[in-house]
Structure 1
Amino acid sequence: MENPFEIINERLKRIEALLDNIYRASNINETGIATTPIMNIKQVSAYLDLSVSALYKMTSTKEIPHAKRGKRLYFDKKDIDAWVLENKVNTTSDIERMATEYILKNPVKFP
């Protein structure tokens, strides 16, 4: 007689494999965020952790990059990623590295 725990374990493995196939086919990961390059407003809301109404306000004031087709809004994931990082704050080590590069490229000449 087979061990019932082994049977349960095998069935769980099959269920996990089926769920993985479903996630891959739907282009949505486990957190519900789209993995496709084009997202709708609900997907962007989940991705950025912002409310849908806040996103509507940002699109009406043209604060966030988007495209409009009829009444629907679409967002390019690359554009959203770039928009999020456009006001990136450099770390101290980044600033020191940039300063060193600048000094090496532009040596000070004394008379």
Structure 2
Amino acid sequence: MENPFEIINERLERIENLLENIYSNIGTKETNIITSKIMDIEQLSNYLGLSKSQIYKLTSSHTIPHSKRGKRLYFDKETINSWVLENKIWTQDDIEKQASDYLIKKGKHF
């Protein structure tokens, strides 16, 4: 049977190594806050389920909101979410409620 102190030491060494890797990567990688808000074309492709060529077509026709830094394209996640939802298809109930609200507002009751 192994010595329990050796097992504890091995686990502590693994934890220390993991922490060292995490701390060493903080300076070289973008923080989670930035990466969760900004996407590159690969991330956007996965996020929207579109091919890269479709995204390139949307950017070249200025259909999809994007930023360009040199040759790289960047997409703001919140802006993309708004863009995706801006052409909402209204349900029949939504349309009837809007019509009813409009008639009430104009003073014409039915």
RMSD (CA atoms) = 2.5
Structure number with higher relative contact order (C-alpha < 8 Å, ≥ 6 residues apart): 2
Which one has the bigger helix percentage? 2
Could you say which residue in structure 2 is the equivalent of 1:102?
Answer: 102
Distance 2:40 2:63 in 1: 16
Distance 1:41 1:98 in 2: 38
How many positions carry a matched residue from both structures? 81
Shift of 1:108: 2.8
Shift of 1:83: 1.1
Distance 2:102 2:89 in 1: 19
TM-score, normalised to structure 2's length?
0.65
The aligned amino acid for 2:89 is V
Could you say which residue in structure 2 is the equivalent of 1:93?
Answer: 93
Same amino acid, percent of matched pairs: 56
Runs of 4+ in 1 over 3 A off after TM superposition: none
TM-score, normalised to structure 1's length?
0.64
Q: Which is greater in Rg? A: 2
Could you say which residue in structure 2 is the equivalent of 1:52?
Answer: 52
Unaligned regions of 5+ residues in structure 2, if any?
A: 1-21, 23-30
The aligned amino acid for 1:68 is K
